[in-house]
Amino acid sequence: MLIQNANEAVLCKSFCLTLTGAAQQWYRRLMPGSINSFKQLTDAFATAFLGSKIRKMETSYLFGIKQGKSEPLKEFLNRFDKAVVQIKSCSDDTLI
């Protein structure tokens, strides 16, 4: 897919059309308003996926993830989201 001369909003919205599997799950779980530019979106995607092999883990792994005493909520949620994409099959019901 080639989108020329598109604005930031169009690029961000169309980005999800290129994703499948764990990458699509990652995109769907982005908090509304958390991405302000296409560069921020691509940087977040690269951080989540590039340079790391996605290991398939069991859903039960998520139940052991705890927020550290001095860990900011945003950092904890980022760490949790990175773990979610490593789960082979994780329903939204499990995440709630």
pLDDT, one tens digit per residue, over 21-48 is 888 888 988 888 888 888 888 888 888 8
Per-residue pLDDT reduced to its tens digit, 55-91: 567 777 888 889 989 999 999 988 888 887 777 666 6
In whole angstroms, give the CA distance from residue 11 to residue 7: 6
SS (H, E, C) the chain: CCCCCCCHHHHHHHHHHHCCHHHHHHHHCCCCCCCCCHHHHHHHHHHHHCCCCCCCECCHHHHCCCCCCCCCHHHHHHHHHHHHCCECCCCHHHHC
Beta-ladder partners of 87: 57
Residue where the block lists tokens 């059309």: 17
The pTM of this model reads 0.50
Backbone angles phi, psi at 62, to 5 degrees: -65, -30
